[in-house]
Amino acid sequence: MDKIIVLDFGSQTAQLIGRRIRDMGVYTEILPGDSPLDAEALAETRGIVLSGSPESVYENGAVPDRVVYECGLPLLGICYGLQRMNYDQGGAVEPLPRREYGRIGVTIAEGAGLDNIVSDTAVSGGVIGTNTVAARRFLEGFPPNNGTRRFTAWMSHGDTLTRLAPGFRCYGFSDTGYPAVLIHEDRPWFGLQFHPEVTHCEGGTGILRAFVFGVCGADAGWTMERYVQELRTSLAERVGDNPVLLLISGGVDSTVAGALLLAALPPDQVHLMYMDTGLMRKDETTAVKAALEKLGARHLHIVYCGEEFLSALKGLTEPEAKRKAIGDLFITIQEREVRALGLPDSYFLAQGTLYTDLIESGKGVGKKARLIKSHHNVGSPLVDAKRRAGRILEPLDRLYKDEVRRLGALVGVQREVLQRHPFPGPGLAVRILGEVTAEKCNILREADAIFIEELKSRRSAETGNSFYDDIWQAFTVLLPIRSVGVAGDVRKYGWVLALRAITSADGMTADVYPFPTADLLEISTRITNAVKDIGRVTYDISSKPPATIEWE
């Protein structure tokens, strides 16, 4: 299958480049900017994109394997990637007097592009050499320019090219007068000072398409059906007749990983382990069990350890202390229960790690990408040991969340499971502020179930979808305070409950869901009527940042 490699030099948008190209049906792989590119890495590669970076080429910026310049493959340098290519080939890059950020116009030089590729700019001129055909195809992908040849690009850079390397020609300038579109005259090398992958860049996808299809001639062979087929074959080959143990949380990712294993291997080889920490949502364990059995699970090990978690949490009120107690106990129980299964040492350990989990935790992909969250359980001593032994299976580790949902549908996971809102590892413990008790868990579970049921049954007049489907994540939070109210004629002293509902693309930032007031009022009434310990309901109207999605 044809692929495009994205060399990640630490840009926040390197992932986005990969995403955009995958959305065109072409498989992409993101590799650290300086990773060695041997024949295996380059197999079936049709082109390489060099990403942006917060670094400068003349300071600490990473340098790609020189094979990049020798392999003859088409290259597209974006921002730092362009500066890198120019600098490595003998051009100059220097700091701008002032950093440029945001929407900036770019004008394609008169005469550049379509019929005769001639640049009449001050930086370079003349007819392009052996790269003419590819250059024309590339420039054809630029936004329609209404006779003005100008479009709005999106930039974020502190350096600029100040001398072009031999062979590079400039075909477009920013309104601020800096080189913005570069093409090499003899080699299939292209560079953009702006970011076509960012949605604010006018026609950005068209420019990427022109590179991927027009220049690289890549085949759009990346379909989920095909990928599932390949995964099934490779999983079966790799596992042989060894048993596989999958750690299941009940969320979308691990359930899809389970479904995939059950589709790829004889079900008797597949062991699924799920821990009911007592901090789960209402009827969650029953639903997880039913879903997995429907997928053909034969060896489902449900570990009921609610008591252990509650006693570990006793007396703890600090959010981090609670998280640590849960994390530590999780590991202890996991090791104990896995040992108790008595699987042979040769067993494979599987988890539903996603591509974004690897990127966020800085594991293996995009070495320079920063650690954004610390709560991903990509690692535990057991997982680390199995990883060292080369016996970890992470069949979803090349996929983004929405791709996992598509894959899940192909291997029979129900829509309801696939569309489920995310749920944090520490469960209700981070939604009961202060000390966690069994009683509070029950109160929260009831209130949360009502909230979610209401979101599923109410529709947005604007989109026609259920509120639940339009919301990225919704839940209730039990506050550690009680307030005064009346019930009948009697004074009531009840707990305060907060509702949280946010929209988001990936959980990194979040906006408050704009509920119609009438719905909020009705939901609040239903909760206070049905859950007698709750006396008051509030709606959390904080975005992320500054507030996080969870309260602890």
Cβ proximity to ligand XMP: between 422 and 434 the closer is 422
Cβ proximity to ligand XMP: between 412 and 507 the closer is 507
Interactions with ligand XMP, residue window 450-479 (CB under 6 A) = 473
Cβ proximity to ligand XMP: between 53 and 254 the closer is 254
Say if CB 141 and CB 210 are below 8 A apart. yes
**Residue of 19, 26, 23 lying closest to 51 (CA atoms):** 19
Q: Does 544 bind ligand XMP (CB under 6 A)?
A: yes
Signed CA dihedral, 353, 359, 360, 361: sign only: positive
Interactions with ligand XMP, residue window 361-380 (CB under 6 A) = 375
Cβ proximity to ligand XMP: between 105 and 507 the closer is 507
**Residue of 64, 63, 75, 86 lying closest to 159 (CA atoms):** 86
Distance of alpha carbon 170 from alpha carbon 59, whole angstroms: 24
Written as six digits, the tokens of 461 are: 């007049």
Residue 550 among the catalytic residues: no
Out of 79, 170, 201, 305, the active site residue is: 79
Please, what is the minimum distance in Å from the beta carbon of residue 372 to ligand XMP? 9
Written as six digits, the tokens of 326 are: 């849960």
Residue 195 among the catalytic residues: yes
What does 63-94 look like in DSSP terms, one character per residue?
---THHHHS---EEEETHHHHHHHHHTT-EEE
Q: Does 77 bind ligand XMP (CB under 6 A)?
A: no
Which parts of 296-434 are beta strand (E)?
299-304, 348-350, 392-393
**What letter does residue 151 receive in the DSSP assignment?**
E
The residue type at 348: F
Cβ proximity to ligand XMP: between 243 and 507 the closer is 507
Using DSSP's 3-state secondary structure scheme, residue 475 falls into strand
Please, what is the minimum distance in Å from the beta carbon of residue 59 to ligand XMP? 32
Binding-site size for ligand XMP (CB under 6 A) equals: 11
Please, what is the minimum distance in Å from the beta carbon of residue 236 to ligand XMP? 29
Residue keyed to tokens 């440029």: 100
Interactions with ligand XMP, residue window 414-453 (CB under 6 A) = 422, 424-426
Please, what is the minimum distance in Å from the beta carbon of residue 380 to ligand XMP? 13
Out of 157, 184, 195, 271, the active site residue is: 195
**What letter does residue 125 receive in the DSSP assignment?**
E
What does 272-302 look like in DSSP terms, one character per residue?
EEEEE-S-SPTTHHHHHHHHHHHTT-SEEEE
342-365 per-residue burial string, b: 16 or more CB within 10 A, e: under 16: ebeeebbbbbbbbbbbbbbbebeb
Interactions with ligand XMP, residue window 89-108 (CB under 6 A) = none
Out of 55, 100, 197, 454, the active site residue is: 197
Binding track, positions 507-536, relative to ligand XMP; x by CB under 6 A: x-----------------------------
Cβ proximity to ligand XMP: between 75 and 549 the closer is 549
Query: How many C-beta atoms lie closer than 10 Å to residue 505's C-beta?
Result: 9
Please, what is the minimum distance in Å from the beta carbon of residue 430 to ligand XMP? 6
Please, what is the minimum distance in Å from the beta carbon of residue 280 to ligand XMP? 13
Residue 446 among the catalytic residues: no
The footprint of ligand XMP (CB under 6 A) covers 375, 422, 424-426, 473, 507, 544, 548-550
Catalytic residues: 79, 195, 197
